Amino acid sequence: MLVEVLVAVAAGALAYWLFQRTRRKDLKTQDGWWGAGDPPPDGEDLSIRPFTVSCSQDELEDLYRRIDATRPVASLEDSQFHYGFNSQCLARVVSYWRRDFDWRRQVDKINQYPHYKTNIEGIDLHYVHVKPQSLPAGARSVPLVLVHGWPGSFYEFYSMIPLLSGLPDLQLEIICPSLPGYGFSEAPHKKGFDSVCAARVLLKLMRRLGFQRFYAQGGDWGGLVTTVMAQLEPDVVKGLHINFPLPTFNATVTTSMLLGWRFPSLFGFTPFDLQRIYPFLENMVAEPMRESGYMHIQSTKPDSVGRGLNDSPVGLAAYILEKFSTWTDKSFKNLEDGGLNRKFSLDDLLTNVMIYWTSGCIVSSMRFYKENFSTLRPPHAKLPVYVPTHVACFPNELLHTTRLWVQQKYVDLRSFSSMARGGHFAAMEEPRLLAEDLLAFIRTMETPG
């Protein structure tokens, strides 16, 4: 009898454990207030206001004065981009910025799409909103939110927007916000604004715009924020497309890392997976460490370095553009010019820098790291994602991932693309590749049956 009781208890415990493992767990959150002071007694302002990016002569004169007052520092001989942004290359970039770059013309380019602001949880949120020019009678648009990362901005998607608009078979309505503390979105005035808070604010934005369900795309922080959006409201995010998924480390992932080089087929590793993962200590530990010094600074003391960058346009450009070199292709660190012109135009690169400079957002953008790394194991990291997901894996991404690793978190992984080329800033570097991959996923989701 005792044995039967023990067996029954053990079976019950096992059944409960399996139930807990398979039971759907959604992420929970509470409303916040990130404006200065206390919330107004008459409630939140729900209005949506048109916004236009502007450029004043005083702004330009101040920029030029600061550029002219910069103190050059010579790079070491034969150092290329191994010590950071090469000074000789920086001098050429700054010269172009000072004499040839036309910020007014770029402002006109930015304003080609409608911009708006609305106040959510006490902060003004900026976003670009591109609607279909004409909808057939009775048809409805398909909403899509595109979310950027650091040190990018909403402008990263400007080459993609035309590729996603005006399609005969898919009428996308595009919303491209600036994350709070980035670009023309107001920075939080209180501590604690992390990716969960950002996801909640963007969900509120989409509801305010009248969308019941929508697709979401993002890389870098945008990939994390859209992932958290899917965790918070899995019935609202219709599909998730990301190009920088972070692996969930569990027994399966750890085992595959240890044994994958010997039994690649057992873990679904491709020849390219093996090339990017092994030797493991070099590719998955040492190389990411060499590119993550900024992360330690920004997740601990962002204000100290940020103040210097906020005062110096040349320092700001060096800090931001260095990432557009080595994060695009790690081999670019061996080049005197960092390979910047191989993938981007200086006008586009400097436009992104100017968004940071004119809005004065570099400090608040860096604080987002401190808020997100305040705990090593945030609640969203422990939970799976149930929303249908597609992952685009670019070959020169900072941290390689495999389909098996992605599936540990994104349990409804519909598809996984190994992209032909491209790195971390995929939307800006390879807009056509990313747009085509995104459209293929949405079309599959929108096709009945």
- Among 194, 220, 273, 329, which one carries the catalytic annotation? 220
- Give the residue among 56, 84, 23, 70 at the shortest CA–CA distance from 313: 70
Q: Note if the bond before 378 is cis, omega within 30 degrees.
A: no
Q: Does residue 62 carry a catalytic annotation? A: no
Count of Cβ atoms closer than 10 Å to residue 21 Cβ? 7
Please tell me the predicted confidence (pLDDT) of residue 13: 36
Kindly tell me the sign of the dihedral angle through the C-alpha atoms of 247, 252, 254, 257. Answer: negative
Please tell me the predicted confidence (pLDDT) of residue 362: 98
Q: Looking at beta carbons, which pairs linking 231-234 to residues 24 or more positions away fall under 8 Å? A: 231/26, 231/27, 231/199, 231/380, 231/383, 231/385, 232/26, 232/27, 232/29, 232/196, 232/199, 232/200, 232/203, 233/203, 234/26, 234/385, 234/386, 234/387
51-61+107-320+349-446: CATH architecture: 3-Layer(aba) Sandwich (3.40)
Q: What is the pLDDT of residues 135-168, one digit of tens each?
A: 877 778 999 999 999 999 999 999 999 999 989 8
Please tell me the predicted confidence (pLDDT) of residue 379: 83
- Among 155, 182, 356, 369, which one carries the catalytic annotation? 369
Please tell me the predicted confidence (pLDDT) of residue 39: 93
Q: Does residue 369 carry a catalytic annotation? A: yes
- Residues in the chain where the model's pLDDT stays below 50: 1-22
Helices 346-359 & 362-372, crossing angle to 10 degrees? Answer: 80
Please tell me the predicted confidence (pLDDT) of residue 44: 86
* Rg value, the chain, Cα: 23
- Ranges of each domain in the chain: 51-61+107-320+349-446
Q: Does residue 220 carry a catalytic annotation? A: yes
C-alpha distances in Å from residue 421, one per residue of 151, 205, 275, 431: 21, 33, 15, 11
Structure tokens at 85: 């942004």
C-alpha distances in Å from residue 143, one per residue of 140, 176, 210, 364: 9, 11, 10, 29
